[in-house]
Amino acid sequence: MGQEVQKEEKELEQYIPKDVDDCLVELEKLLINEDYLSIKNGTEEDVLLWHPSLGRYLRNTWGLWQESRLAKWFNKKGINHPDEMSHIVLVAFWRDINSEFINLEELIEEYKDGG
């Protein structure tokens, strides 16, 4: 079986978002109430506390270390490191659930310059 077919089959087992907006929808489904509230009630800077746990889960499950469609979407935006990808997703999620302007373009630019 070709590598491309194997990758597609793996992605079928676990849904991989296509972009950050899709990530926000998936995180809403994924998080249990206490985790959701912990993120919501924290500060934007507290998102760093989620990097080793939820961030790692996103990097591994959503194929950010491989060439998943989400990783490719970030690569096209100039973001190439999975740590930066997951951090952008988490900050965007925090802003979204706290009714803050996400300003994704600026967030991406910040990380393209070395975050």
What's the pLDDT tens digit per position in 59-81? 999 999 999 999 999 999 999 99
Whether 86 and 58 have beta carbons less than 8 Å apart is answered as: yes
Question: Does residue 2 form part of some domain?
Answer: no
Sorted by sequence, the CB contacts under 8 Å of residue 47 that are 6+ apart come out as: 39, 87, 90, 91, 94
CA atoms within 13 A on the CB side of 4: 0
Q: What is the pTM of this model?
A: 0.86
What's the pLDDT tens digit per position in 20-61? 999 999 999 999 999 999 999 999 999 999 999 999 999 999
Question: Does residue 1 form part of some domain?
Answer: no
**Nearest alpha carbon to residue 11 among 66, 54, 55:** 66
Domain range enclosing 104: 18-112
Q: How many helices (H) and strands (E) does the chain have?
A: 7, 0
Question: Does residue 8 form part of some domain?
Answer: no
- pLDDT-based confidence at residue 111 (cuts at 50, 70, 90): confident
Question: Does residue 44 form part of some domain?
Answer: yes
Question: Does residue 105 form part of some domain?
Answer: yes
Domain count, the chain: 1
